[in-house]
Amino acid sequence: MSTHKKKQRLRSLYFKTLFLTLGILLALAMIAFGLFYYLFGGLNRTTLDESKLSVNAGLSKDTNYSTKNIALFGLDSRNHDYEGRSDAILIASFQPKNASIKLVSIARDTYVDIPGHGKTKINHAYSYGGPELAIQTLNETFDLDITDYVTVNFDSLAEVIDEMGGVDIDVTEEERIQINAYLLEGEPLRETGFVHLNGPQAVSYARIRKIDSDTMRASRQREVLNCIFEKATQLSPLEYPSLIRKFAPMVETSLSNDEIIELASIGTKSDLKLEQGGLPNDNIDSRGETINGVWYYVYDLEEATDMLHAFLYDNVPFEEYGLTEEELAEQRASSSDLELDDVS
């Protein structure tokens, strides 16, 4: 065979191999895109006008999702829509470099200035102007950089919890009575102590507020979310597709596909940790105050903002905020002694 013919055959083989490789890559890309669309295609998507969100752009450390803050809203709407007041308001901070997700709940009765509506409860913002106004209120109140949100109806959350096998929570007798009072469907709870709650019971637990305060209500909501988080980390990756496909239609979000993939990648980290806090808390002066016949949570929002930023950006837990080095050392020593007592 001549040298010329050999070169022709090699060239032909090269192009065939190249086209075959490109064809395989294209097919894999189409499969991946199709799978992603199949899983997340049911999400209720919205687009926000970022110019109306009062974003504090100066908070961004870099453009590589060093800290991505999003707003989480839980609606207590009984007809499965996405309207009404936000019964739960949380800030979720995704931090890949620290392998952590931080959740901060904001008391729904917090007295704030809602743009265009004056001073009232922060949970009214969602009903006045949907997620756009609710995010703007969070950004202006706490000087944040939130540009995206996720909204879930509480009734939908009950289905999620049931699908994941329920949650185990320590319930007092007072809480048991309130769970049954708020329960919309299913069997009433008959036991106290560390008990297993199904979806409706867990959601009813998260709604309790009459026996104590809105702060405790937010704490219960975070506890339920923490249980769901722990359940999720124990699932086999093979279980994710069916869960995502089933629950995507229950969620409304402004997140893009790329952002969802980026944030979801944090969940693959073996050392992933969930840190939680709430505003107000025991480390900030707060009070209940009746203004024009309406009860509000009133506290120093500037101090709360400083505390929140210290937690999100400097990893300072709320309980350590404002402590001197001596007080901090004393607190940590006390915590160590308590842990040793628990072990013994």
What letter represents residue 7's amino acid? K
Strand-strand pairing, 118-121 and 273-279: unpaired
CB atoms within 10 A of CB 231: 17
Q: Output the furthest CA–CA distance in the chain (Å, rounded).
A: 99
**d(C-alpha 201, C-alpha 207), whole Å:** 10
Assign 118 a pLDDT band (cuts: 50, 70, 90). Answer: very high
pTM of the model: 0.77
Does residue 152 belong to any structural domain of this protein?
Answer: yes
d(CA 19, CA 29): 15
Q: How far is CA 42 from CA 36, 95, 104, 246, 249, in A?
A: 11, 26, 27, 9, 5
In a domain, 9, yes or no: no
125 plus 19 within the same structural domain? no
- Given a cut of 90, whether residue 147 has pLDDT beyond it is yes
Cβ neighbours for 293, distance < 8 A, ≥ 6 positions apart: none
Q: Do 88 and 205 belong to one domain? A: yes
The structure tokens 């808390």 sit at: 281
Report how far residue 200's alpha carbon sits from residue 78's, in angstroms, rounded to the nearest whole number: 13
Q: Are residues 27 and 80 in the same domain?
A: no
Average pLDDT over residues 325-340: 67
Residues 32 and 49 both lie in one domain: no
What's the structural domain count of the chain?
A: 2
Q: Residue for token digits 């049954």?
A: 180
Amino acid in position 84: G
Shared domain check, 87 and 55: yes
Are 209 and 244 in a shared domain? yes
3-state secondary structure at position 36: helix
Lowest mean pLDDT among 18-27, 218-227, 260-269: 18-27
Q: Quick one: pLDDT band at residue 293, thresholds 50, 70, 90? A: very high
What digits encode the pLDDT tens for the residues 257-266?
888 878 877 7
- Predicted confidence at residue 41, as pLDDT, reads 67
- State whether 22 and 111 are in the same domain: no
101, 93 contact by CB (below 8 A): yes
Q: How confident is the model at residue 31 (pLDDT cuts 50, 70, 90)?
A: very low
Residue with tokens 């009133």: 298
pLDDT higher than 50, residue 247: yes
More confident: 202 or 250: 202
Structural domain of residue 123, as residue ranges?
A: 44-343
* 145 shares a domain with 263: yes
